[in-house]
Amino acid sequence: MLRQNRFVLLVVILYFAIGCTVFGTVLQNSFVYFDDNLLVFENPMIQNLNLRTITWAFLHFDPELYIPLTFLSFQFDWFLGGGNPMIFHLTNLVLHIINALLVTWLIYLLQRRNVLVALLAGLLFLVHPLHTEAVAWISARKDVLSAMFFLMSTIGYLYKRKRISLACFVLGLLAKVSIVILPLILLLIDWLQKRPLDRNAIREKIPYFIAACVFGVIAIIGKTQILGNASLITGVLVAIKSTIFYLQKFVMPLQLSVIYPYQDSLTILSPDFFIPVGLLLLLIVAVFLSRKKTRAILFASLFYVCALVPSFTNYARDETVFFASDRYAYLPSIALVYLIVVGISTLKNQRKTLGIALCTMVIITFGFLAHKQVRVWRNTKTLFMHATQYHEYYRAYSKIGAELWNEGNETEALQALNHSIELRPNRRAYYNLGLYYMSKNQTLEALSAYKNAIELDTNHKDAHMNLGLLYWQSGNTEDARTHWERAEQIDPTDRDALINLALLYQKIGQTSTARQMIQRLLEMDSEDIEAHALLRSLE
């Protein structure tokens, strides 16, 4: 027993050493303006840990996903390190290493307690470049956190600790609902282990299915708009393409990107889609023919597809189709590493030795590739400049332009923003152009840019605020009022909108309305010095 405990400790140390060697430079990375701002560093509810913010975490979406446990983990990180991104990156890294250890444990249980096979699977999962996004992107916390509870629940089930397993499943659902497929995976494990799929097998899964249904309904509430706009044919074609795409990237993880937009005509007649359809049909036939020789291939194939299914609702953003995202391969890749090591374990003598050596070489190579990929996530500019090497996507150039502007590189910023608009007129680029022209005191150009942004998105609060400011500075009180009131309607808690409206109402003699604005400010923050000063000026 003591020897076994020492071995386990050595494995844990080994995994942490390799994980930190491969992904350790992520601790030097910044937040990125790609959901990190929305979820973390511009979210006031993350920057405090108290009863009010904890309650908020359980009552709000992100804005699409219900992820209260993920929000709580962000709040705890902020409590520990404030706005230091290193703390957030460290948590993601530790969770990923734990997941690799859990994958090792799971494969060990599924593969007749074969230690070598389990270690190969865990190490391959640990260093795979396809997982860099889940580790290096702070907003992907929900993926690594939910995966941890998914694996813990599955392992608990194999040890017949049903209550612990169910509790872990619920915790995982609170991190991200995508693990809703766990009951199906448990049934697949029963089948793999030749357990009868009778009433008892189904009955013991009922609590899992109930939890899955409850959280599934909650998820649909958050996804209503996306699902409502989805085309069934488009969804099927994208699902097939992404299924094959992840297989390709798992085998050859090159040209990885934060975005994979598809901007051409989406039709089955396109080689981009009929080739994946053909390949998928061939794979289905191959899996079907293998079922009599071994259950492992069919098990891994169904595990892979089931784990991918929740991601098939996420292909549409900003009128653009995205056929993949690296983090969506996080759970499905467990099935693929399982399949690889099962194949190695079936080899005999010298072939088996060769298979182990080849797998070890792949692990080392993938470790180097993953280490290199971490640098891509250093900041927003490096992330999207890397993406533009493979995809001419308007939003990438908009983000690059904003970052160049923040760095003071005005000429290149203007070029990037204009190129973004050339690719597709979009509110973000127009808004950033407005900021550029405001800084140059080019009022007419700034007005035009903000109006274009609002035309594309009538709820663009910041564009309304800045447009109101331009009108206010030019003495056009009426138009300033119109846009600031619109900004306040979009976000009734926006402090700047309330302050500006209070000043405006004071100027035009509507002191009672100005006082109402200030009272609302004081309700949000009773110690707001500027609000108290404004209130005194009205007396």
DSSP character for 261? E
Among 365, 384, 403, residue at a domain's last position: 384
User: pLDDT category, 107, cuts 50, 70, 90?
Assistant: very high
Interval 127-175: pLDDT, tens: 999 999 999 999 999 999 999 999 999 999 999 999 999 999 999 999 9
Question: What is the domain extent for residue 8?
Answer: 2-384
Tell whether 211 and 330 lie within a shared domain: yes
Counting the structural domains of the chain, the total is: 2
In which residue are the tokens 């939003």 written?
Answer: 395
Give the tokens for residue 343: 């194949």
Select the more confidently predicted residue: 532 or 106.
Answer: 106
Cα separation, 506 vs 514, whole angstroms: 6
Is the same domain home to 257 and 167?
Answer: yes
Same domain, 316 and 438: no
Q: What is the DSSP letter of 26?
A: G
Same domain for 366 and 483, yes or no, is no
Assess whether 114 and 249 both reside in one domain. yes
Q: Please name the residue ranges forming H helices in 314-393.
A: 332-345, 349-376, 380-387
In this prediction the pTM is 0.91
357/444 same-domain check? no
* Same domain assignment for residues 369 and 393: no
**447-504 tens-digit pLDDT:** 999 999 999 999 999 999 999 999 999 999 999 999 999 999 999 888 899 999 998 9
Same domain, 93 and 181: yes
- Last residue of some domain: 320, 353, 384? 384
For the segment 412-437, what is each residue's pLDDT rounded down to a tens digit?
999 999 999 999 999 999 999 999 99
Residues 340 and 473 in one domain: no
Q: Are 327 and 310 in the same domain?
A: yes
Mean pLDDT of the chain, nearest integer: 92
What does the pLDDT read at residue 228? 47
The answer to whether residues 41 and 140 belong to one domain is: yes
Q: What is the pLDDT of residues 355-376, one digit of tens each?
A: 999 999 999 999 999 999 999 9
State residue 230's pLDDT score. 55
DSSP states of 278-299 as a string?
Answer: HHHHHHHHHHHHHTTT-SHHHH
Residue 1 confidence (pLDDT): 67
For the chain, give the percent of residues with pLDDT over 90: 72
Residue among 177, 129, 188 at smallest CA distance from 367: 129
In this structure, are 249 and 133 located in the same domain? yes
Which of 384, 403, 418 terminates a domain? The answer is 384
